[in-house]
Amino acid sequence: MRFLVRLVINALALWLTTFIVAGVTVDAFGDKGTVQTVLTYLLVAFVFGLVNGILGTAIRIVAFPLYILTLGLLSLLVNGLLLLVVSWISGVIGFGLHVDNIGWGILGAVVLAVLAWLIGIVLRPLFGRVGKRGR
């Protein structure tokens, strides 16, 4: 349940990011109806979660000394690059996320993170501590 809630939060944040950041767009598959568009955002959010969970974690572990040296500013670049990787994977699939360049990727990653955080705060009272025992 917690995974699904996070997936929906990230898909919603990605949808809002495409309205705010001009260099980040999502192309739906099929006839671009409502269902196809929602499924595309969910799929892109899923791929972003996988890339962030696997590749992002590996990069953060290897680059830990650089994170300390740059006081965490390297995370902006890493998150922008991860968004570009998701864009590349989407391009291979033939639909999904498109990021124009690294600058838009960094800005998109920052906006995406802030929006996901805000949406999570808003939805927390509705879902409580999803997936936690004892409640």
Whole-model pTM? 0.85
Averaged pLDDT, 113-123: 92
Angstrom distance (rounded) from CA 27 to CA 19: 13
pLDDT value of position 135? 47
Enclosing H/E stretch for 99: strand 96-99
* Model confidence pLDDT, tens digit, residues 29-78: 877 788 999 999 999 999 999 999 999 999 999 999 999 999 989 999 99
Instruction: Provide the residue type at 73 as one letter.
Output: L
pLDDT value of position 127? 73
Confidence band of 96 (pLDDT split at 50, 70, 90): confident
Domain boundaries in the chain? Answer: 2-127
